[in-house]
Structure 1
């Protein structure tokens, strides 16, 4: 039976991220082209609002819950590691492959025609940035089964896993800020997001009741206030251009305490939300939104840059950021972008539909192929988020931590990784205990 509140949290978290990007991204014409900035940089007094609007931790909580359910489903059907990873990764990679393929084709055409400049150049290097989230999530998919085994093995002490990951994140920040070891900071990409994901396992076990939720919310909020007041952490929970420290990239201990308080708040709202979700129309709307959420997430910045390009071409200049007129136009701005995104989703949502998933990979070879595929897809998607789609013919590179990547090498890694995941089925695939293909969970 589906958990309606989990489905609502998934839709709301992605929806808030999309709306936040639409509000934050500012593109202004200059004498030499265009420049991009951020509403939070122009209006720094709004930065505390990110404590409510930086909701990616909620998505990772939902991911932990969903993965716990999916792992149990695979086990009941006689499947193993490869079946879980292939199914969950495939669910993300299909709409991502469509997005990457179309944008690479556009970027090649634009560069070959000599138009890789101005707003087009900015768009080709920006629309891929949200892929960082999918890259991290793919890595978590690969780690989910062994971490779930650890969670089950610890029983009532399973809370030690997120606690230990939190302690590791704190140690990383000590090394980063007190001992000036900057490269160690990237370990928190794993420690912070895995800690939140493990809370999802506890939620799936019904161990995060109102008392636990209240403790997470209260202690998390107090710790976030302390860290951003007395520590080296900025108030904003999203990265800002030119800021010396970002709580997001790489993640910090402050982002983890923020995640704790936000997760606690979300769990405290579960009971009234569950009553609301009992309404048939509300639940039907959530189901429809879930079916298109990933496609909307992938394409929402493309829609934004298309609208900005049209306005610049028409010579339409908006009111100054933060003015009364600017705020008055924000509801119309969000509504217009939402309608255009729905139009894109209506064309491309076929890539977001769940597929039937096979069960029964060929043992160890299938596991090795699934691990290799997941690693390559993770690195490739993260690489695309770092380098973008522009500069393919010019050999544009960016650094993924310490590894140089190009759009071509990153896309190749995703393609080869996807092939390995497909091959992890093996030559003789079983389709569940009743001889049928098992619907994807």
Structure 2
């Protein structure tokens, strides 16, 4: 069994051909999401003394324009497309045949291990609090909110699952595959807003995000040669859709809004993703020069090793800071007031410190596991259906948990997921069963 390498050793051993900009974008995009969540959260105390969590962008609508820069999830999914293409092709070359089960296991281990640990800790903690009768307003809000970012894990699982067939479409049609997904996303919005077709909008969870993912395939093959055109087309499209269509200004979900660009995604969000990806591609040169510096690259390597753990626990840290402030009777100013803005740096610094502590405790779950042995083509083909079933169960389990949260476990609190009502225990069982299937399927191959 090999020993774990330090970030300094990994950085020193990095091959010269590695595209370090992709690693920087992965860290920067997740870091921006974390910072955005810390900034937007606005906890207030009502006249009845009960705390409530609001959204800064709802208090100050003019700040919603900032989401055109801070909504960077498209960049993360774009980076995922790049990485998935290289990973699947590498496995296929090494095994001599399509390696779906091995690919799923390799990509999902570092994603699902820290996620399942997060679910186990929060589930046990929420259940203990409810059994002991410690429910409070902030406790209930926290138990719901901390699970919401899991939607991102669910979408990412879908991208991993669809990588092989969509990669084949990319290899055959190139930009045509992206154009087909983008056209499908636009058609869904036409059916939704012009024809009033019910439920059709949920198809854009696939079309919009998979189109962004497809841009990562194009980047992997060096086919994003005109990022300025992509950025200009995306920005023009987003501006036109928001200015003349039914789309809101904010590129993140807002409480109480009838139409969201995020849930489900819209053509406006796809255009936003295009302009943002084009913009970061235009900055590839300066970013490459930055990560060529040893100290910067070591920082990126170290951050990549704990990025998922930090993402999973950052809301826990933020709500913990607010809870400590309430317990210490620290005044919470009105959101967007001068006093509130003066308090922001201190709250963010405290949330960062608590997140670092949680990362130190839970980071082991994100350590890369030993690779599974390659196997015969027959064994891989036989395990692919089980792997596909596993990732499907995990996908719906994670999405369901992001909706239902950890509150009301004893009361059987539920949510509707694709016309099916689910509870937190059911979604956790789906996640666990799916993870087990993927793990087992990836190990069924016999050594060559």
TM-score (normalizing by structure 2): 0.93
Structure 2: 5+ residue stretches without partners: 1-16
Contact 1:220 1:261 in 2 (8 A): yes
Counterpart of 1:26 (choices 37, 42, 48) is 42
Alpha-carbon distance in 2 for matches of 1:357, 1:77: 13
Residue deviations 1:150-189 (CA, integer Å, cap 9, x gap): 21123xxx10111111110111111111111231111000
Counterpart of 2:286 (choices 251, 269, 272) is 272
- CA RMSD for the aligned pairs? 1.3
Note if 1:360 corresponds to 2:375: yes
Match of 2:331 in 1: 317
| 1:360 positional shift | 2.6
Note if 1:221 corresponds to 2:214: no
Matches of residues 292-371 of structure 1 in structure 2 within 5 Å? 292-358=306-372, 359-360=374-375, 362-371=379-388
Structure 1: 5+ residue stretches without partners: 434-441
Contact 2:380 2:444 in 1 (8 A): no
Alpha-carbon distance in 1 for matches of 2:233, 2:165: 29
Note if 1:115 corresponds to 2:134: yes
Note if 1:137 corresponds to 2:156: yes
Matches of residues 119-268 of structure 1 in structure 2 within 5 Å? 119-154=138-173, 158-209=174-225, 212-268=226-282
4+ residue runs over 4 A deviation:
none
Aligned residues: 426
Contact 2:44 2:334 in 1 (8 A): no
Alpha-carbon distance in 1 for matches of 2:198, 2:178: 24
| 1:282 positional shift | 0.4
Residue deviations 1:30-86 (CA, integer Å, cap 9, x gap): 216222210000000100110000000000000000001101110121061111011
Contact 1:116 1:390 in 2 (8 A): no
Alpha-carbon distance in 2 for matches of 1:335, 1:169: 40
Note if 1:7 corresponds to 2:23: yes
Contact 1:83 1:360 in 2 (8 A): no
Q: 1:427 to 1:293 in 2, by over 3 A?
A: closer
Match of 1:74 in 2: 91
| 1:329 positional shift | 2.8
Alpha-carbon distance in 2 for matches of 1:352, 1:106: 21
Q: 1:34 to 1:323 in 2, by over 3 A?
A: closer
Task: Please give the secondary structure, in 2, of the residue aligned with 1:77.
Answer: helix
Alpha-carbon distance in 2 for matches of 1:50, 1:360: 46
| 1:149 positional shift | 1.5
